[in-house]
Structures are given as C-alpha cells and as structure tokens.
Amino acid sequence: MLKKSSISVKVILTKGALKFASPLSFSALGADAVYTSNDSFSLDEDNISLHLSLSRWADLILIAPASADFIAKCANGISDELALTTVLAFNKYSDVIVAPAMNSMMYENPLTSKNIEDLKNLGASFVDSEVGALADLSVGKGRLADEEKIFEKVMYMLEEKKLFLGKKFLITAGATREYIDPVRFITNGSSGTMGFSLARAAKMLGGKVYLVKGHTTARLPFVDAIFEVDTTEDLLKETRKLFSEIDILIMAAAPVDFKPKVEATHKIKKQKELLLSLKAAPDVLKSLYNNKKNQIIVGFALETEDLIKNAKEKMNHKHMDIVVANKNSNIGKENGSVTIIDKYGKSIIIENKSKDEIAQEILLFLKNFMEKEVRDGKK
C-alpha cells in the first residue's frame, strides 16, 4: 500500500521477523531495500554504518508488528540488532509509529504498559492493538491493528509533518519560584503538563521546538532543546534570548507574579509572626513586546470569573495573537475544557478533552490563524 502511494520503503527484519517472513517477500512487494541483522555491521556506499545512514534517510519509522520485547528494548535504549540501532540513532520519537502485537497477558503486563507509556512520553505514536483471536486461540487485546489503519496513520503523519515544517517554536511550561529566603519560596501548582503536550504536538506537526521550563512534575517531552529556569526573572531572560530566533511563542508557563521585596540571605528563624512584603515580578509577555517582530504569540488566561471577557482583555493588553481561556477548575485534572480565541474574534470551544487533544486543537487553530494572515496579506 505504501509503495502504491509512491513512498520509498526500506525494510529491516528482526531475528524474530525472519521466522515469519523472508527478505525475498518484501523485495517482491517492491521494497526499495531489505535488511536483516546480518547487515548490522555493514557500511553503505559512502562508508557510513548502515544504522546511521538508514536513520538519516528515513522521514518516519514504522514498527509493525511491534512485539513486547521490541517495545521494551526500544523504551530502554537497548540496541542489539539492526532494527533497534536504527531506531536509537533516529532519535526523533515523534516520527516513530508503533503498532503492537502480542498476547493479551503480555500486553496487559504493567511492565509493557510502562514501556508503552515511556515511548509515548518520548513522542512516539501508537496504532493500538485490537481485540480478537490471538496466536494461542484465546481472545483478547493484542492483535495487530488492521493494516488499513496502520497505513492511514503513516499517511496522516507524513502529511501532518508538513504543517509546521521550518517553523521554530518557543514553548514555556511549568511554574517559577520567588524566594523568601534560601530554602523557602512562593510558587503555584502548575505541573507543566499543558506546555509539554504542546511541545510534543508541535514536534509531531513538524516544528522545531525549544522548551523553556520552570518547575514541573510532568514527564519531559522529547524536543530540540530544553532550558531550565527557576525564577520569573530567569524565565524572562531565557525567553528574551531565544525570542528573536523563533516564529511562534506559546506562553504556557505559570510565572509567579509577586516576589518578596527583600530576599533574606540566611534562613529566617522561627518567629510568632512574619510579615512578607511583596512586589511585582516581571511580566514576560508584556516585556517581550518591544522585541516583537513577526513572531506569533499564543498566551493563556487563567481566570476564576468572567472567563471570556477577561481572557479577551488579557489578549489585548499582553499583545497576544491567540489566547487560550482556561478555567482554574482545569488545573491538575487530566481532562479539561478551554476556549481558544484569536485577535480577529474567531473562537472555538473545546470540551472535556485530554491535554494532548487540547494541544493539537490549539495548534490546528494556530495553523488556520497563520493561513488567514497570509491570505489577508498580513504576513
């Protein structure tokens, strides 16, 4: 099916795969090249190790059928055969599709679930196994997904990868801290999940992603570069440094707005009452405005009341192009509802979706916004 769609396909058979199919079958189906683990130490015509040249050549790697063993090895960086060294050297998990196939007991084993979760966190996409008759004649989840479905996923991802091709994103995520003394600080409960989902989605859609992260508890995404910051001032400095290089800024970070007027140099001793005097920490978006050229700015508005009205006002006075209005009831929850609004007044409501799904919706909205600006001659 891939060959019929004029896609170049190179096949690597694992030792296990060789027990089911021969290299000749794939050559006969029109594969551009077929390799096995016997080729592990071969060089290509330019004298480059095969796993390196294959990983540079591919736009996308499809692992199908992916056994529990292969998934476990991939998730742990084990590379004891050509297919694994190639995935490890490829290093762009947002361009890896995994279609698992195994016995349902192995599928449901918590170790397999953890390995799948780890690969997802690195950005890999899965075409989920289906429920049906398995090799041991039992019925359960673990059957390789329908080949049409796998094919569609490949085609969709090859298409998707073009959406933000050549675009550089700067995404901020997580909470900052403002110190009262060397061991105590003011912060907020941001986990970084939304920013990380956006970073993963932006990578998946072909963008180059720089991530500036404050304090987070969510699993790190796989992106082009990560910069760690502590205070709101640090966040401003790091963001400002990168701002001139990028096309799109997504401010998903939750910077602390206040800092103690004086930061004690020693740990403050216990006392009956302590009054803290706070002053404003820098506002990152407002401060960046002077450096703005063609960058598109997507910001968030976290509100407890008058969500839409306040979000629109925030968009205007913080010079955002798009605002994602977020209720505080979304914080810390797995699913959430948001309203996305652009500066021309277009808006969409996203109800009860996962953070990954919300991230994708935000980026599709952004893509439409960018296309409209080009159409209207604004960019």
Q: Is 248 among the residues that bind ligand CTP (CB under 6 A)? A: no
Name which position in 257, 263, 313, 356 contacts ligand CTP (CB under 6 A): 257
Toward ligand CTP, which CB reaches closer, 129 or 190? 190
Q: Is 246 among the residues that bind ligand CTP (CB under 6 A)? A: no
Q: Is 112 among the residues that bind ligand CTP (CB under 6 A)? A: no
Q: Is 301 among the residues that bind ligand CTP (CB under 6 A)? A: yes
Residues whose CB falls within 8 Å of the CB of residue 377, separated by 6 or more in sequence, listed in order: none
Q: Is 233 among the residues that bind ligand CTP (CB under 6 A)? A: no
Q: How far is the CB of 31 from ligand CTP (least distance, A)?
A: 48
Q: Is 232 among the residues that bind ligand CTP (CB under 6 A)? A: yes
Cβ atoms of 256 and 232 within 8 Å: the answer is yes
Toward ligand CTP, which CB reaches closer, 205 or 281? 281
Q: Is 215 among the residues that bind ligand CTP (CB under 6 A)? A: no
Q: Which of 205, 194, 206, 201 is nearest to 214 (CA)?
A: 194
Query: Which amino acid is it at 218?
Result: A
Q: Is 251 among the residues that bind ligand CTP (CB under 6 A)? A: yes
Q: How far is the CB of 253 from ligand CTP (least distance, A)?
A: 5
Q: Is 281 among the residues that bind ligand CTP (CB under 6 A)? A: yes
Of 58-66, 82-90, 279-287, 350-358, the segment contacting ligand CTP by CB under 6 A is: 279-287
Name which position in 153, 161, 318, 355 contacts ligand CTP (CB under 6 A): 318
Name which position in 65, 123, 207, 255 contacts ligand CTP (CB under 6 A): 255
- The residues binding ligand CTP (CB under 6 A) are 232, 251, 253, 255, 257, 281, 283-285, 299-302, 314, 318
